[in-house]
């Protein structure tokens, strides 16, 4: 068995995957961004509740996590652009670490790259 076949077999057996499903509240209006490369994307944040402490690990008073998300596909960007702060949404995607230059230094950011998304419930605030 080659090294590549071994790695594939191990990953398949271990159930290794980079899949994320978030169900939460949109914390602000989505924002369209055009990168210096000319690529376009939409960025947004979803607030998801934290599970109550289980007695293991450090405890925190923080009750929600704010997860940064991006969407690159044109159809998905148009759909997400209609969302409003407070909407309850479902997002499916993968965790990505993106590197970029800012202030003369290389920085990184972890975000969810969205492959599918939908509104579960519209915000009552207009």
5 is a domain residue: no
26 is a domain residue: yes
Q: Count the domains in the chain.
A: 1
Q: Tell me what pLDDT residue 100 has.
A: 81
* Close Cβ partners of 93 (under 8 Å, ≥ 6 residues apart): 19, 20, 69, 112, 113, 114, 115, 116
Range of the domain at 77: 18-49+63-121
113 is a domain residue: yes
Instruction: Provide the β-strand partners of residue 98.
Output: 109
CATH code of residue 45: 2.40.50.140
9 is a domain residue: no
7 is a domain residue: no
pLDDT at 125 over 50: yes
Q: Tell me what pLDDT residue 59 has.
A: 64
6 is a domain residue: no
- Each residue's pLDDT tens digit, 2-43: 544 444 555 555 678 899 999 999 999 999 999 888 999 999
Of 34, 100, 106, whose CA–CA distance to 72 is shortest?
34
78 is a domain residue: yes
Whether this model's pTM surpasses 0.75: yes
Q: Tell me what pLDDT residue 6 has.
A: 46
- Each residue's pLDDT tens digit, 59-113: 667 788 999 999 999 999 999 999 999 999 999 999 999 888 888 999 998 999 9
């Amino acid at each position: 068995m080659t090294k590549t076949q071994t790695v594939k077999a191990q990953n398949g057996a271990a159930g290794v995957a980079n899949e994320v499903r978030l169900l939460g509240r949109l914390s602000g209006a989505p924002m369209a961004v055009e990168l210096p490369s000319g690529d376009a994307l939409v960025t947004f944040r979803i607030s998801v509740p934290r599970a109550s402490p289980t007695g293991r690990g450090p405890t925190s008073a923080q009750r929600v996590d704010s997860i940064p998300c991006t969407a690159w596909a044109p159809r998905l960007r148009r759909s997400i652009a209609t969302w409003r702060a407070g909407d309850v949404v479902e997002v499916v995607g993968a965790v990505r670490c993106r590197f970029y230059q800012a202030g003369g230094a290389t920085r990184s950011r972890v975000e969810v790259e969205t492959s599918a998304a939908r509104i579960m419930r519209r915000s009552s605030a207009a």
